[in-house]
Structure 1
Amino acid sequence: MYIPITPMLAEAQRVGYTVGAFNAHNLEMVPAMIRAARDLGSPIIIQTSPGTARYVGMKNLVAVCRAMAEDEIVDVALHLDHATDLTDIRNAIAAGYSSVMFDGSQLPFTENVAKSRRVVAFAHEHGVSVEAEIGTIGGTEEGIRNREGKYTQPEEAQQFLAEVDCDALAVSIGTNHGQFKSKTRIDLDLLGRINNAVDVPLVVHGGTGVDEADYPELTAKGIRKFNVGTELLVGWTRKAQETFGATKVNSSLRNNIVPCNDVVGEIVAHKIALFMGRRPE
């Protein structure tokens, strides 16, 4: 089924696992991602940046995710990631996205609260889930070094959630966007304190740099949505450099692209198995 993230994360909370949220950097990646989830019997969140959504076309992304959710008999959500412009959020909801993130983490606290409340009211009126963010996640996204991280504080998260009825909360515990050459030192103690202070599914961004050995403790301490983007981008691009450089210019384009999508599917399957507490094959 094509659904919002709310029921997905509620079930993950009830059973005790994490749902993988995978950034599609082009439309070609999406079928490989969804089929990987189908093969493991897992729900999946496909997410796009606002830039990718505009490039591919929001309605095109919705159409593919809806059709594949029905054809492959798997729960799929389509999520707009790190939207700071309310127009992007309104357009995504109008196009049929089932979930959106309003990232007001760079705003003063009171302004973040006020704008997050507006997004929640509008989205919930249309049956769409909302992820909000407290604290800032450092690093590079879509090639732009945009900010330094500021850790989420449990008391601030409590105060935010007392005023904002969001469906998931992104927290900053030491991860960085765009990190793939080294592993992140995450503050698991801080995560535990945040989890004890709030009653909402928690989200980790910048997941590529997280050591896979830390996944079980992240799940145990409330992470219900785990974002993976850079690893998919790097894997797809490296394979594209190999395949496009080794084929004739008049070869069928799919001979170059399908191997790239296969790499994405393998990464997604590996991550989902870990998120669900299974031993990857």
Structure 2
Amino acid sequence: MLISGKEIMQHAYENGYAIPAFNFANMENLQAIIQGAEEMNSPVIIQTSQGAIDYAGAEYLADIGLGAAHRANIPVVLHLDHGQKYEYCLKAIRLGWTSVMIDASQDTFSENVSKVKEIVKVARPLDIYVEAEIGIIGGKEDDLVSDKEIYTEVKDAVNFQRETMCDSLAIAVGTAHGVYKGEVKIDFTRIKEIRALLPVPLVLHGSSGVPLDMVTKAVHSGITKVNFDTELKLANLDALQRFLKENPGVYDIRKMFKPCRLAMKEVVKAKIAACMSTDKSWIIS
């Protein structure tokens, strides 16, 4: 059930829940996401980063991503996460992605606006959803690294969306990409202030490591899409290490990765519950 990003996000925006978005880079990773979402009857966004595309190839990820979406019995959006180059966004659009993010958040405000407008110009006539980002979310994801964090200013978010006409906006409110260091602190008041003035869905990046109750509070505050990646990788690693320790000498990758898939699926289901998107599929479809 491959659908447009606009359809899935608008429904969540209007009805007070969030769409969980999970990164994938291989088959087991993707199967865990789809199976978890189907068991929870939740709409879901499956997303690929530039790092995943460099690793597996855009065409291969399109084959498994689009195939999984078409076979799923839940609404699925295929999204490009943190596309930093125009060429990556354009290729994703050509191959069938239904949503793209152009991330120029580390550029100046005017450069960010200019780059987003270029993607909107291409994507809008094709009904491709466009996500952008303003403010800088710290941490590391793939090759995207930032040792600084700049919270999104309310007035900047409003002006940015008005100039770019992006469909959704990722904002910096205290989360961080990768593994958290220290206490998680989210500026829920800032989320509420931006949501009150901005007529488009807000996106929370760097949500791995955020306690589930804080994810839900962020959704109540006005977040419509929540990104998860690192915790799936960690669940995969933990299950693989445990299997190899308990089964020395086993070399069959089918046996190795079955528990990994199950471990990742449990993470997916927990995040879906926190986003309050359980049993929302039938409403959209």
CA apart distance, 1:40: 1.2
TM-score relative to the length of structure 1: 0.93
Query: 1:138–1:175: 8 Å Cα contact kept in structure 2?
Result: yes
Query: 1:25–1:233: 8 Å Cα contact kept in structure 2?
Result: no
- Give the direction of change, closer, same or farther, for the CA distance of 1:106–1:145 in structure 2 (3 Å limit): closer
Amino acid at match of 1:116: V
In structure 2, the residue matched to 1:189 is: 189
How does 1:15-164 map onto structure 2 within 5 Å? 15-142=15-142, 145-164=145-164
Higher relative contact order (CA 8 A, sep 6+): 2
In structure 2, the residue matched to 1:11 is: 11
Tell me if 1:269 matches 2:269.
Answer: yes
Query: 1:182–1:209: 8 Å Cα contact kept in structure 2?
Result: no
Distance in structure 2 (CA, Å) of the matches to 1:25 and 1:180: 22
TM-score relative to the length of structure 2: 0.92
- Give the direction of change, closer, same or farther, for the CA distance of 1:173–1:250 in structure 2 (3 Å limit): closer
Amino acid at match of 1:267: V
> Residue 226 of structure 2 aligns to a residue in which SS?
strand
CA apart distance, 1:165: 1.3
Query: 2:66–2:96: 8 Å Cα contact kept in structure 1?
Result: no
CA apart distance, 1:129: 0.9
Q: Which moved more, 1:161-170 or 1:172-181?
A: 172-181
Distance in structure 2 (CA, Å) of the matches to 1:49 and 1:167: 19
Distance in structure 1 (CA, Å) of the matches to 2:181 and 2:238: 14
> Residue 151 of structure 2 aligns to a residue in which SS?
coil
Distance in structure 2 (CA, Å) of the matches to 1:235 and 1:211: 16
CA apart distance, 1:85: 1.0
CA apart distance, 1:25: 3.5
CA apart distance, 1:273: 1.4
CA apart distance, 1:50: 0.6
In structure 1, the residue matched to 2:200 is: 200
Q: Mind listing any 5+ residue stretches in structure 1 that lack a counterpart? A: none
In structure 2, the residue matched to 1:235 is: 235
> Residue 185 of structure 1 aligns to a residue in which SS?
coil
Amino acid at match of 1:226: V
Query: 2:173–2:188: 8 Å Cα contact kept in structure 1?
Result: yes
> Residue 174 of structure 1 aligns to a residue in which SS?
coil
Amino acid at match of 1:179: V
Query: 1:59–1:96: 8 Å Cα contact kept in structure 2?
Result: no
Q: Which moved more, 1:231-240 or 1:167-176?
A: 231-240
Amino acid at match of 1:90: L
CA apart distance, 1:33: 0.6
In structure 1, the residue matched to 2:253 is: 253
CA apart distance, 1:59: 2.5
User: What does the per-residue CA deviation read over 1:141-184, in whole Å, with 9 as the maximum and x for residues that have no partner?
Assistant: 22764331100011001110111111110000011111346541
CA apart distance, 1:16: 1.1
- Give the direction of change, closer, same or farther, for the CA distance of 1:76–1:136 in structure 2 (3 Å limit): same
Amino acid at match of 1:81: D
> Residue 243 of structure 2 aligns to a residue in which SS?
helix
Query: 1:140–1:177: 8 Å Cα contact kept in structure 2?
Result: yes
- Give the direction of change, closer, same or farther, for the CA distance of 1:255–1:183 in structure 2 (3 Å limit): farther
Task: Give the number of aligned pairs.
Answer: 278
Distance in structure 2 (CA, Å) of the matches to 1:143 and 1:234: 18
Distance in structure 1 (CA, Å) of the matches to 2:44 and 2:237: 22
> Residue 78 of structure 1 aligns to a residue in which SS?
strand
Distance in structure 1 (CA, Å) of the matches to 2:94 and 2:28: 23
Amino acid at match of 1:101: M
> Residue 27 of structure 2 aligns to a residue in which SS?
coil
- Give the direction of change, closer, same or farther, for the CA distance of 1:277–1:116 in structure 2 (3 Å limit): closer
